[in-house]
Structure 1
Amino acid sequence: MNRRTLGKSVALALIAGTALLGAACSGEDKPAESNGPVTITVNGKPPATDAVNLANFEADVKAFEAKYPNIKIDAKEGFMDPQTFATKLAGGQLEDVFYVYFTDPQALIAKKQVSDISAYLDTVPQVKDIQEQLMKVFTGPDGKVYGLPSANYSLGLVYNRTLFTKAGLDPANPPKTWEEVRAAAQKLKALGDGVVGYGDYSKSNTGGWHFTAELYSVGGDIAVKDGDKWKAAFNSDKGKQVLQQLKDMRWTDDTMGSRQLLEWADLIQMAASGKLGMYIGSSDNLPVIVNQYKGKYEDYGLSVMPGGQGTLGGGDGYMFKAGLSPEKIKAGLTWLSFKTINPDRIMADNEKASKAGQPVGLPQPNIWTGASAAKREEATKKFANVPSDNFAPFVAGSASIPLKLEPPLAQQVYAVLDTAMQKVLTDRNADIAKLLADAEAQVNTILAAAK
């Protein structure tokens, strides 16, 4: 689901792998300091109620200003509040360097509400190691860059390795196609004892979210641009394929269980109980399964999206307010390269996270390739406290699967698509063609308001 709702509370628990926790940079590959003195406003400061992360943040500011005495950081509390973002933007009240979700940059670029930072990227050598598809999120149609990613996620197949072994399936070789998912679900269901082979959502916008993910995985789209307007694109052979697969698994194979109308926490609880074989999720589900519902990391694996033609993903990063001076842009890049996109911090951050009992060794967030990825791998091997090998299928396949973002007005679209998911999973006589046609008409009305 949109990480605005699952959000920062989960991301901060996992962020050690992307260098947001502490320790000053090593001095290698540092950007050129701007010709100060200059003060920049930034957001991302933790609230007073988050004492540990606030102390780390303030220590970072102190260390940064000691290292770069010509740059002063005026930090504001919080990240992005979707309820107030547009108002702050229109009123010119956004910070100089401000936090965004992956769904925001293209609209901000199109409206010329952010600064082009392309000319200054050579001061941040580690940018060359950021995944290309993540940089594209912050790149305009003109080829210019307007921001930098700081963390990412993408959906894949979460599965129970212990149940796989009991069912005669190879946990090191999970399903790569939806046909293989269906076959594996049948073997898992045959274990009996209440085991559900495959689970899926259909309530509280999560059904539409997963329909989107599954449609992307087989090469479909939820919405496409038609001139300067958006229109629904899911009433297609690909859309029918997704719903038919679920209908067949639910009613022909009986591998999805009789309990339906599930939402986010339901599948996580089922997975933690040891009674769910597979579902679509991301690596941030695993700490919730373990910490909140008392599962064990050893029991779970993560692989790429079956189908492999696309994966729904997202993340966050930072952009630069429109109209900034070159000095402020360079100062902002210096701050980000110190605090947020600094591979030289990964070792110290992982050590700190491990000592604090936070998971080290999950496959995401991870924005790096090249030498920076090698630093992350070294730090993970040294301080991993989760079985990283369980996620090897995800790591091996992720780079080859295109990342696709949520559609415009995603939550409204998902609410409509929930109905199609609900009907298919609760009514064996559900008319897939009619469900998609009805949803298409409703979504096109919604998309008429999209920019």
Structure 2
Amino acid sequence: MPGISRRQVLGSATAVALSLALTACGGSGSSPSGKDENGVVTISVNGMPAKTQALDRQNFMEDVKAFEKGHPKIRIDAREGQMDPKTFAAKLAGGQLEDVYYVYFTDPAGLIQRRQAADISEYVADVPFHKDIDPALMKVFKDGEGKTYGLPTGNYSLGLLYNRSLFAKAGLDPDKPPATWEEVRTAAKKISSLGDGTVGYADYSKNNQGGWHLTSWIYSMGGDVAARQDGRWRAAFDSEAGRKALQALHDMRWTDRSMGTRQLLEIADVQKMMGSGKLGMYMAGPDNIPTIVKQFEREYEEYGLTALPGTATLGGGDGFMFNPKASPEKIKAGLQWVQWKYLRSPEREAVDSERAKKSGVPIGLPQPRLFAGDTQAEIDRIHGRYANTPVENYQPFIERNAQVETKVEPPNAQQLYTILDGVMQSVLTKEDADLDALLAEAAKKADTVLASVK
């Protein structure tokens, strides 16, 4: 999200060192193991911020120093960048790939299929709190046989962000936001009837953002944007779910007139509308709230968040995987680094939360939310203790989001979003748009884009 994130501020040398009780694995101590004559393992990791991000980079390097102090047998060779699909294969073949590398949730399936990531199943069971990581997030890093190839370190999912003040003004209960798309439609009509330029619901339709949101609409209706058929990927949105999504948008835009007359919007436009107090609802992740509060000088108490209606939503996140050529010693050391820096224990979470509150970083937003069970419950209690945002306003999101499946982006997502942008634009700017024709034509274009996916 724009601005300084919590993770950036919390990366400091005063973090509590938490060591892993990983079982020692046999190794000769020779160079292939990664150990030097003193038994120190050096691992290369990426994800270090660029020099242009001075504060982020400083915090990252302070974390490296703190980690090495608490783990004297491990040295971190930190490098800039993330996983780049265009150069990944060449780096792996040339021996230049980091031992521990950053990925988005869209990457693991292909990397696992091409055997470009190490199987860490025999080591990951010893990572503290491993069993408490949300199974849906762990699934991203598993193959069909249940083997594990990485760990999640961040996540998000799209929900419904709403203006609590406008809800109350329209006679709606801010503590009971819409749970179905029909309820969204009803609420949007009531809010737009307030007049004075107030819009009930808004959505994106350009710069690939329209396709991004339409994907989540289709997921929520029980459909897919792309599916694998007979060994190849094909468009899947020319379906009942696709038509229901477009019909809902069309009806709010043209029948109810609850989406306003201004269209061809993108995220900055919609955030400005919400920040001006003239928008009731829009599809968004939790990170939109601090952006609006900071940029438009609003108050956190003005906004609520609930889960997206329907059966599923679009989500994503990030994590780390391991070089398939890495030795067991390097993999174990890499797991210690990833767990220490990104998968914080409740004890370390308390230290970080106290520091974050002093720095004015928002505490209490409902994501990232990596754990389940008792571990997450304890972290929630810690966040509640240090919260500087109204956590009760996000309870509708937390309570129902577990019932909504989070699905990752389709293959060649950005190219598909460009195609789906056109569909969104037609529906929102042409009252007589032929929904079936739009879907059929877009599907033909999408099949061409998907033909290159292996």
In the alignment, which residue of structure 2 is the partner of 1:385?
388
Q: What amino acid sits opposite 1:60 in the alignment?
A: D
User: Residue 234 of structure 2 aligns to which amino acid in structure 1?
Assistant: K
Match of 2:255 in 1: 252
| 2:161 paired residue among 153, 158, 174 | 158
Paired residues of 1:94 and 1:321 also in contact (CA < 8 A): yes
For the residue of structure 1 that corresponds to 2:79, the secondary structure is strand
Find 1:312's aligned residue among 311, 314, 319: 314
Deviation at 1:398, TM superposition (A): 1.4
Counterpart amino acid of residue 318 in structure 2: D
- Taking a change above 3 Å as real, the CA distance of residues 350 and 30 of structure 1, as seen in their structure-2 partners, is farther
User: CA offset at residue 311 of structure 1?
Assistant: 1.0
Q: CA deviation at 1:342?
A: 2.2
TM-score for the superposition, normalised by structure 1: 0.93
Match of 1:399 among 398, 402, 408: 402
Q: One-letter code of the match for 2:130?
A: V
Q: 1:198 matched to which residue of 2?
A: 201
Is 1:324 aligned with 2:330? Answer: no
The residue aligned with 1:419 is: 422
Distance 1:32 1:67, change over 3 A: farther
Counterparts of 1:86 and 1:429, CA distance in 2: 48
Question: Is the CA contact (8 Å cut-off) linking 1:31 and 1:124 kept in structure 2?
Answer: yes
Give the SS at the match of 2:262: coil
From 349, 356, 359, give the equivalent of 2:359: 356
3-state SS, counterpart of residue 193 of structure 1: coil
TM-score (norm 2): 0.93
In structure 1, the residue matched to 2:223 is 220
Q: Secondary structure at the match of 1:245?
A: helix
Question: What root-mean-square deviation, in Å, do the aligned CA atoms of Structure 1 and Structure 2 show?
Answer: 1.9
Aligned pair 1:48/2:40, yes or no?
Answer: no
2:163–2:279 CA contact under 8 A, matched in 1: yes
Q: Who is 2:296 aligned against?
A: 293
Q: Contact 2:11–2:62 (CA<8 Å) still a contact in 1?
A: no
SS of 1:115 mapped into structure 2 = coil
Does the aligned pair in 2 maintain the 1:129–1:370 contact within 8 Å? yes
Task: String of CA shifts for 1:92-130, please: whole Å, max 9, x gaps.
Answer: 322100100000001000000010000001321211111
Instruction: Provide closer, same or farther for how the CA distance between residues 124 and 20 of structure 1 changes in structure 2, counting only shifts above 3 A.
Output: farther
Contact 1:22 1:349 in 2 (8 A): no
Partners of 2:84 and 2:447 lie apart in 1 by 27
CA distance in 2 between partners of 1:352 and 1:53 (Å) = 16
Deviation at 1:415, TM superposition (A): 0.5
Q: Which moved more, 1:426-435 or 1:121-130?
A: 121-130
Is contact 2:203–2:270 with CA below 8 Å preserved after alignment?
yes
Q: CA deviation at 1:295?
A: 2.5
Tell me the alpha carbon deviations over residues 3-53 of structure 1, each in whole angstroms, 9 at most, x when there is no partner. xxx6xx66x614379x75654335476545777421110112223343333
Partner residue, 1:333: 335
Alpha carbons 1:198, 1:278 under 8 Å: kept:
yes
- Are 2:188 and 1:185 aligned? yes
Distance 1:22 1:251, change over 3 A: farther
Amino acid at match of 1:118: S
Q: Secondary structure at the match of 2:277?
A: coil
Residue type of the alignment partner of 1:144: K
Report how many aligned residue pairs link the two structures.
441
What amino acid maps onto 1:410 in structure 2? A
Unaligned runs of 5+ in 2: 28-38
Which residue in the other structure is 2:34 paired with? none
What's the CA shift string for 1:176-230, capped at 9, x where partnerless?
A: 1000000001110111111100001111111111110011011110011012200
8 A Cα contact 1:208 1:413, kept in partner? yes
The 5 Å alignment of 1:222-237 reads 222-237=225-240
Partner of 2:134: 131
Find out whether 1:15 has 2:18 as its counterpart.
no
Query: Where do residues 28-47 of structure 1 align in structure 2 (5 Å cutoff)?
Result: 30-32=21-23, 36-47=39-50
In 2, distance between residues paired with 1:16 and 1:351?
Answer: 15
Deviation at 1:376, TM superposition (A): 1.4
Specify which structure has the bigger relative contact order, considering alpha-carbon pairs within 8 angstroms and separated by 6 or more residues. Answer: 1
Give the conservation status (yes or no) of the 8 Å contact 2:218–2:225. yes
Does 2:148 align with 1:145? yes
- Are 2:268 and 1:261 aligned? no
The 3 A distance-change label for structure 1 pair 191 and 30 is farther
Aligned-residue sequence identity (percent) comes to 53
Secondary structure at 1:140's aligned position in 2? coil
Instruction: Give per-residue Cα distances to partners, 1:140-192, cap 9 Å, x unaligned.
Output: 11210000000000000000000000001011110010000000011101111
- Segment drifting more, 377-386 vs 105-114: 377-386
Indicate the SS of the match to 2:296.
Answer: coil
Q: Which runs of 5+ in 1 are unaligned?
A: 1-5
Deviates more, 1:215-224 or 1:61-70: 61-70
Counterparts in 2 of 1:20 and 1:122: CA distance versus 1, 3 Å = farther
Instruction: Mark the CA change 1:175 to 1:266 in structure 2 (over 3 Å): closer, same or farther.
Output: same
Which residue of the partner structure matches residue 24 of structure 1? 15
Q: For the structure 1 residues 85 and 349, does the alpha-carbon distance in structure 2 shift closer, same or farther, using more than 3 Å as the test? A: farther
Aligned equivalents of 2:207 and 2:173: distance in 1? Answer: 34
State the shift of 1:350 in Å: 1.4
Paired amino acid for 2:325: G
Q: Does the CA-based 8 Å contact 1:22-1:57 persist in structure 2?
A: no
Question: Using a 3 Å threshold, how does the CA distance of structure 1 residues 242 and 204 change in structure 2: closer, same or farther?
Answer: same
Q: Does 1:63 align with 2:66?
A: yes
* In 2: Cα distance, 1:140 partner to 1:436 partner: 32
C-alpha change, 1:163 and 1:101, in structure 2 (3 Å) is same
Q: Distance in 1 between matches of 2:270 and 2:95?
A: 42
